[in-house]
Structure 1
Amino acid sequence: MKIYVTSVFVDDQAKALDFYTGKLGFIKKNDIPVDGENRWLTVVSPDAPDGVELLLEPSGHPAVRPFKQALVADGIPMTSFQVDDIGAQYERLTALGVAFTLPPTDAGPVKMAVLDDTCGNLIQIVQMVGSP
């Protein structure tokens, strides 16, 4: 068994696609109309185009908004992405106007930072650095 798709709830799929491709550097994998304005919209890492897909899931279900608001209020990221050089990614993303709620910070075997995806989520990026 392996992970095929994982989701992040987004307030606006078009805005999310722009952010996740234009800022974070993912590439669009699927864009299939589902119902009304909703789409089966996935992105993948350019390093693994046949790997795990991230579904930019519409936030339409009534439970999603309070769930996302509670996570953001408590500073809890919706998901986490691994990077090779967190300092370089922080500089690159900051230059693109991405807002961080936590700059690169040592956390034992990882360095981590938390950014706002502009679609209602906090996203963590991590760099593996070894044993604490």
Structure 2
Amino acid sequence: MAYCSVFVDDQEQAFRFYTDVLGFAPKHNVPIGTDRWLTLTAPGDPDGTQLLLEPSGHPAVGPFKAALVEDGIPCTAFGVADVHAEIDRLKGLGVRVLTDPTPAGPVTVAVIDDTCGNLIQLFSETPAT
């Protein structure tokens, strides 16, 4: 997989959140009219899958995003080393956490608000007992 898109309401706000708060690294920032081809990668993996911060301008995007948020469905999921520690860190930064870490079989999951119209699931493997 080369790209994964997340539709965002404001590319600049999304860029700041995904880099400054979540820790993604900038990859491409190419102006395209009033928008940008704006991609990020996981820190330390500059050649890995790119996250495209896609503008939400298409008429179908708004209702789709609103329906997902209303139903509490994350638009994507990111793996982290320790979801408990990551949620504690994000809460300290003022990130809105909708679901605290919750066991779900082989993983522990949490859900945050990305400030750009999306819910994002964070997960880590649940240690074997």
TM-score grouping bracket, smaller chain normalisation: over 0.9
Q: Conserved in 1, the CA contact under 8 Å of 2:103 and 2:126?
A: no
RMSD (Å) for aligned C-alpha atoms = 1.2
User: Which runs of 5 or more residues in structure 1 are unaligned?
Assistant: none
Give me the whole-angstrom Cα distance separating, in 2, the residues matched to 1:118 and 1:101: 12
Q: Does 1:7 align with 2:5?
A: yes
Q: Residue 121 of structure 2 aligns with which residue?
A: 124
The AA in structure 2 aligned to 1:38 is D
Cα-to-partner distance string for 1:35-57 (whole Å, 9 max, x where unaligned): 2x200000111131110000000
Cα offset, 1:83, TM superposition: 0.5
The AA in structure 1 aligned to 2:120 is I
Count of aligned pairs between the two proteins: 129
Q: Residue 20 of structure 1 aligns with which residue?
A: 18
Displacement over 6 Å in runs of 4+: none
SS where residue 93 of structure 1 aligns? helix
Query: Given the two structures, how large is their TM-score scaled by the length of structure 1?
Result: 0.94
Cα-to-partner distance string for 1:55-83 (whole Å, 9 max, x where unaligned): 00000000000000000000000000001
The AA in structure 2 aligned to 1:56 is L
Give me the whole-angstrom Cα distance separating, in 2, the residues matched to 1:15 and 1:73: 22
Q: Does 1:52 align with 2:14?
A: no
The AA in structure 2 aligned to 1:116 is D
User: Which runs of 5 or more residues in structure 2 are unaligned?
Assistant: none
Q: Residue 70 of structure 1 aligns with which residue?
A: 67
Q: Does 1:111 align with 2:108?
A: yes
Cα-to-partner distance string for 1:14-41 (whole Å, 9 max, x where unaligned): 0000000010000110000112x20000
Give me the whole-angstrom Cα distance separating, in 1, the residues matched to 2:44 and 2:88: 20
Q: Conserved in 2, the CA contact under 8 Å of 1:108 and 1:131?
A: no
Identical amino acids, percent of aligned pairs: 56
Query: Given the two structures, how large is their TM-score scaled by the length of structure 2?
Result: 0.97
Cα offset, 1:130, TM superposition: 5.8
